[in-house]
Amino acid sequence: MNHTGKSRTVFHSSPTLPVAEDEVSQRIRLLMKLRNSGIRDAAVLSAMESIPRELFVEDVFREHAYDDTALPIALGQTISQPTIVAMMTVALEVKPRMRVLEIGTGSGYQAAVLAKLARRVYSIERHKDLLAIAEQRFLQLRLTNIVTKRGDGAKGWKEAAPFERIIVTAAAKEIPASLVDQLSDGGIMVIPVGDNVAEQKLMRLTKGEDGKTFIESLMDVRFVPLVEER
């Protein structure tokens, strides 16, 4: 696995993995809940249906993989609540030929969902152990279009920029200027912002063709902080 800062692409074709019957029914119930909560984007729902969330949670929490709740993973991080994953993905408005930058690989679940929607996903994680586990999951699922790197997510991925879409899965005190610079004109960034966990807002930044930005607040959220390397 690559943890040196150099990018790495996984080359395999998509598999059909066996799924336990109870997990199938749990997945169906979750999709119904997402629809009932207002998620109507068929592509996003299909992507979430195709990704086995139970592979991205700790074994001790596997029975809760399809509960609509955030769950703890290693190193004090979390896998986001499915509703939040869905809402952030819908807000990102990903199209099939787009290149997406994800800040915070974490368990790898959000990247896996995005891989079903975008041409390529570039994902950065600062914790090498988390990244190694996520990369193994990508290999197991044979996702061909995820490129990973260990590094400071607040600095983005300058060598691969610009990106049509950027998603940040940790809360920044303010929107990093480096990420705005790496967003292409006409692009969208979805990012939680807030210094206090109780006061975080999910923001969507749209960058016009003229380079000017428009920022809107979408909802209250609770994310682990985006930690910048010193």
Which pLDDT score, from 0 to 100, does residue 230 have?
59
Q: What is the pLDDT of residues 57-116, one digit of tens each?
A: 999 999 999 999 999 998 889 999 999 999 999 999 999 999 999 999 999 999 999 999
Which letter, b or e, does each residue of 83-113 get, where b requires 16 or more Cβ atoms within 10 Å of its Cβ? bbbbbbbbbbbbeeebbbbbbbbbbbbbbbb
Strand 183-193 to 163-168 pairing: parallel
18-221 CATH fold = Rossmann fold (3.40.50)
**Catalytic entry in 14, 80, 123, 184:** 80
- Whether 184 is catalytic is no
In this predicted structure, the answer to whether residue 120 has a pLDDT above a threshold of 70 is yes
Which pLDDT score, from 0 to 100, does residue 23 have?
78
The model's pTM is 0.88
